[in-house]
Each structure stands twice: as structure tokens, then as C-alpha cells.
Amino acid sequence: MSFTGRDILTTEDLNKEDILEILKVTAKMEAAVHTERVLSLLSDRIVAVLFLEPSTRTRLSFVTAVHRLGAKPIIVADAKSSSAQKGESLADMGRTVAGYVDCIVIRQPQKGGAKVIADAVDVPVINGGDGAGQHPTQALLDLYTIQKEKGTLEGLKVAMVGDLKFGRTVHSLSYALAPFGPEFIYCAPDELKMPEPIVSGMRQRGVPVTETAAIDDALQADVIYMTRIQKERFTEAEQYERLKGSYVLNRGLVESGNRSIVIMHPLPRVDEIAVDVDELANAAYFRQAHNGVYLRMALLALVCGEALV
């Protein structure tokens, strides 16, 4: 099993062994950053970080990861500054950029778009979010966070709350956790339910799934994963207006459920978690965001064939 040259496009492509290997390397990266700050593992590499959709955490943590590995980034930070604006296809852009760099990280709005690039180029491609499709690096940093917060990934009851239809993070998280014997509670308004192929895919894998619209059901889990209603994916503004604010987790709600529940959110939050939750010891979302650097270092090093041993 080698990661060298491999694309990271979805978590469906990763088996349990792959995931455990990635998490092991992530822990090594975290330890190495604490002692050395900046490593020289990828000092002869250049990485393209192409973000054609808004991002703070994913883009900045990838760029930080590139620097901490000793590599150099080239960056597109918004669609307007790339030739996508002129009508260039993803495949053409990929072919061009692949001639400049050793690895491509791409976020863009088209579901399956990262695969279009990966199919067109020889360098490894990492999907930083493909529209309402998948967000595999987020899911892997979520697993790393859960492992650190709970001490295990095995046999956990995990509730995902909010926009499960358009929220790519929960799609990737479902596939990534499935090999660890979880139980899922999918909590969403009717219009924003988890896509049926994912629900049936989980059941086929033997994962018990409960679908509900009531957040109370989610509060008894081991982990609650809140998500933002994905405003940019709605075609009807009226529908967004009606659904925004569907779920707001506040301190009173947390205290009414499993008090040691680990509270996660991929961020950015709008109003899904009240700020009075932030100071609770089990509010893990900012720690979760920080873990993204180590996870992304691990993935970059693995696909470039230079992981710490």
C-alpha cells in the first residue's frame, strides 16, 4: 500500500488501513512541528493551491502545511484571478498547472471537478472541496480530531446536524467513519436530508442510520457535528431564508443531552452554535480547525512519497 502519486478525491476511495496510516502520519507531523517548527521533507517541491471558491481554513491550512513541510506554494485565491473566468476548462487548467508543480490542491464548485483534473494530469491531485460533492481532507481532520477527543474511532454514535444535502463535509465524514463501526443520526429539515445514495450506502455497509428532524435526538450521541446551511448552493433565495437558522445549538441544549458530547463544526459558523458554547471543555471546533494543518501536511507528504517513518 503506497500513497505515492495517489489522488485524494473522496473518502469512499479510502479503506480503513489507508485512513489509519494517514492518521498515524498526522500524529507524527504534529509532534515534528512542535519540536522543529518547519521541516525540510518537501524542500525541493512546489505545490499549487488553487481555490476557485471562497475558503479561509482549508486554503490557509494547506498553505501553512506546504510551508511547514519546507515546500513552496503557488496560489490562486479566487476564481476571478484565474482563467476559469475566461472560460478555460478544468482539464486544460490542470494540464497547464501540472507542468509547473509536483502536486495540485483544488477547490472548485463542480461536483466531480477534482476528478476531471486528476484524470487529465500525472501529478497527485487533492480535492479541497468539489461543490456539494466531497471534502475528504476535512473528513480526515475530523477523524483525527475525534480520535484525539474521544481516544478512539471505534463504535461511536455520531450525530450530523444541519444541511446534510449540500454540505460536502458530512458526505465525506460518513464514508470515512463507516469502517469504524459507527451509528449515525442524520438530523436535518426535510428539504436538506442526507442524499439517499449515501444513506443506503451506509446501510449496505452495516451502519445503523436514524433520520430525524429533531435536534434532541442528536444530543444523546458521543459526537455532534453541526453544519452551516449552504446558502451558496440554493437556487431559490426564499428557500434559504426559510431554512436558515433551522438549528442553533446553545448551552441549554448541550446541558439537556449527553454532557460530555464532543461538539464539532467544520466552520465557518453562521449561527448554528451560540457563542456561549465556545467555553465548554467539549467544544472542539477550533481545535478541529487547527488539526487541519497536520492532516494536510501528512497527505501532502504521503502523496509526494516523503512521509515520516
Binding residues for ligand NCD, rule: CB under 6 A, are 57-58, 129, 135, 138, 168-169, 228, 266-267
* Measured distance CA(69)–CA(38) in Å, rounded: 6
Taking the complex as a whole, the smallest distance from the CB of residue 206 to ligand NCD amounts, in Å, to 27
C-alpha cell at 11: 473518502
Are 94 and 125 spatial neighbours (Cβ–Cβ below 8 Å)?
A: yes
* Measured distance CA(264)–CA(161) in Å, rounded: 10
Residue 135 catalytic?
yes
Q: Which is nearer to ligand NCD, 115 or 168 (CB)?
A: 168
Q: Which is nearer to ligand NCD, 39 or 262 (CB)?
A: 262
Taking the complex as a whole, the smallest distance from the CB of residue 305 to ligand NCD amounts, in Å, to 26
Q: How many CB atoms within 10 Å of residue 15?
A: 11
Q: How many CB atoms within 10 Å of residue 193?
A: 18
* Measured distance CA(227)–CA(242) in Å, rounded: 16
Kindly name the residue from 11, 58, 169, 227 that is annotated as catalytic: 58
Kindly name the residue from 28, 57, 67, 290 that is annotated as catalytic: 57
Residue 57 catalytic?
yes
3 state SS of 231: helix
* Measured distance CA(26)–CA(239) in Å, rounded: 40
For residues 40-76, one letter each, b for 16 or more C-beta atoms within 10 angstroms of the residue's C-beta and e for the rest, the string is ebbeebebbbbbbbebebbbbbbbbbbbbbebebeeb
C-alpha cell at 110: 463542480
Q: Which is nearer to ligand NCD, 58 or 127 (CB)?
A: 58
Q: Which is nearer to ligand NCD, 57 or 251 (CB)?
A: 57
Taking the complex as a whole, the smallest distance from the CB of residue 3 to ligand NCD amounts, in Å, to 22
Residue 259 catalytic?
no
Residue 115 catalytic?
no
Taking the complex as a whole, the smallest distance from the CB of residue 168 to ligand NCD amounts, in Å, to 5
* Number of helices followed by number of strands (H, E) in the chain: 11, 9
* Measured distance CA(208)–CA(98) in Å, rounded: 42
Q: Which strands, in side-by-side order, build the sheet including 223-226?
A: 209-212, 183-187, 157-161, 223-226, 262-264
Taking the complex as a whole, the smallest distance from the CB of residue 135 to ligand NCD amounts, in Å, to 5
Kindly name the residue from 135, 157, 171, 265 that is annotated as catalytic: 135
Q: Which is nearer to ligand NCD, 102 or 144 (CB)?
A: 144
List 257's β-bridge partners, or say none. none
Q: Which residues are catalytic?
A: 57-58, 86, 107, 135
